[in-house]
Amino acid sequence: MKNQTWKPTFLRHAWTGGMATLILTASLTPGRCNGAEDWKDKAISPVVNPIYFEDPRITSEARPIFINHYLPDTFKFDGGKAPLGGEVRVYALQLRYALTERLGLIATKDGYIQLRPDHTVAKDSGWANLAAGLKYALVDDVDNQLLVTPGLTFEIPTGNTDVLQGRGKGEWNPFVSAAKGWGNFHVVGNVGGRIPNDFDKQTAQLRYSLQLDYYTCRYFIPFVAANGYTVLSEGETKLLGAVDLNTEMYDLINFGSTEAKGTTQITVGGGFRSKLTKHLDLGLAYEAGVSNPKGIFDRRLTVDLIWRW
């Protein structure tokens, strides 16, 4: 395990601020807005980490997503550092279809990527890989407001190599998502793994996510969230073909880094979701990297729209 330092002050303030928001909104009266009856109607889909933080509910929906991922001004690697800056933009559309009340088909990754770094790496654009699979609501306990849903997706290397997609021989993603409700308060969690078919081109990773949300009313449901990725193996990819990489790219890109094994990336953030109509949700989230090495995750803005039928 590589030595890592944390940013306790930032993490403490971010988490405290998020919890204060939840406590403040918990004092509001839900009856002022149109309420929901079923506990799952009051629950919300995660906004952060959209490729892997899967909602445990079985739904039929289309979900356009926009991500603005801010790169750090300086990229630190083993033995040195280089100027970076800029951003990565992603335009994507997820699809889900309820085959039965418990079994769902999910298409979790696609879209168009724009790499816009300020230094060191060239700007480029191209298509992302495709990923799809199934999930099954193994536990759906209405009385105890508990939902547990395992699932599996497979990422196909169909994307453009110009935006660091289309590498390797595919990647498996087994996961378990769960949600527990206590009235208007909900906890949603997810744990899973990224298992490549080619360990030279991509790394294996353990990932985990947590969200706390409070239903004040259908139009304003605030949440705080945290996500983590721990790299379990080493690949053969080097920066510009010469420099050992000691980080991975969170959810979007699997570099297959040479020196990332044992490192963990943590992000924390918050936002809200609004149930605009019975069939339409709007979500917004802002998160920041809080672990060191930060890698290339500085900050991220995520906006989505979910249309359900």
pLDDT of 3-52, one tens digit each? 444 444 444 444 445 554 454 444 444 444 544 468 999 999 999 999 99
| Domain 5-308 coded CATH 2.40.160.40 | yes
Q: Which element (helix H / strand E) includes 42?
A: helix 39-42
Digit-coded pLDDT (tens) for 174-215: 999 999 999 999 999 999 999 999 999 999 999 999 999 999
Predicted pLDDT of residue 240? 64
Q: What is the mean pLDDT of residues 67-80?
A: 84
> CB of 130 within 8 A of CB of 155?
yes
pLDDT above 90 coverage of the chain, percent: 73
Mind listing the pLDDT tens digit for each residue in 86-140?
Answer: 999 999 999 999 999 999 999 999 999 999 999 888 899 999 999 999 999 999 9
38: which 2 tokens?
């079923």
Which residue type, as a one-letter code, is found at position 108? T
Percent of the chain with pLDDT over 70: 86
How is residue 176 written in tokens?
């378990």
Sign of torsion over alpha carbons 109, 124, 267, 183: negative
Please give the residue that has the higher pLDDT: either 288 or 36. Answer: 288
Domain ranges of the chain: 5-308
**Are 103 and 131 spatial neighbours (Cβ–Cβ below 8 Å)?**
no
pLDDT, one tens digit per residue, over 215-273 is 999 999 999 999 999 999 999 987 766 777 888 888 999 989 888 899 999 999 999 99
- Rounded Cα–Cα distance for residues 216 and 195 (Å): 39
